[in-house]
Amino acid sequence: MEERFKILVVDDDPDIIEAITTVLESIDEYDVHTARDGMECLESIKQDRPDLLILDLLMPRMDGFAVVRELRERLRYRELPIMILTSVREDASYRRYELETGLSMDVQDYIEKPVPPAELLRRAANLLKRG
């Protein structure tokens, strides 16, 4: 049996979750799980660490900025590949994170929505190969 890569997709929009999940599940080697906010995301990661985290930034209860900060503060999760998939402009996100934390946002990829399915698959595959 082939090893399957576990991908956790975190977004508060059910339509986005469905679309991303459908695209990723077209690849047999991907086992896709979802969460609807940062708190669900961290709980899911504690239960079963994914090989890749695809994370929105703007969500209720706990946003993606806080998730990145929390994961990078914990040694166990520092090497977890994170792909940001959001409607927020990249330069604005990095500036906000740096202003709030004094640190550079440590993520492996950043995609502004909408993303073509082929591009999402290509970039996810690249991160999983690196990881």
* Res 68: pLDDT: 98
Structure confidence by residue, pLDDT tens digits, 99-126: 999 999 999 999 999 999 999 999 999 9
Domain spans of the chain, in order of start: 5-130
Residue 96 CA, chain-centre distance (Å), reads 18
pTM: 0.95
Give the model's confidence band at 37: pLDDT under 50 very low, under 70 low, under 90 confident, else very high.
very high
For all residues of the chain together, what is the average pLDDT? 95
Q: What is the mean pLDDT of residues 37-41?
A: 98
Q: What is the architecture of the domain spanning 5-130?
A: 3-Layer(aba) Sandwich (3.40)
SS3 82: strand
* Res 3: pLDDT: 80
Measured between alpha carbons, how far is residue 101 from residues 4, 15, 26, 106, 122 in Å? 35, 31, 37, 12, 31
* Res 2: pLDDT: 67
Q: What is the mean pLDDT of residues 34-61?
A: 97
Handedness of CA 94, 95, 98, 103 (dihedral sign): positive
Percent of the chain with pLDDT over 90: 95
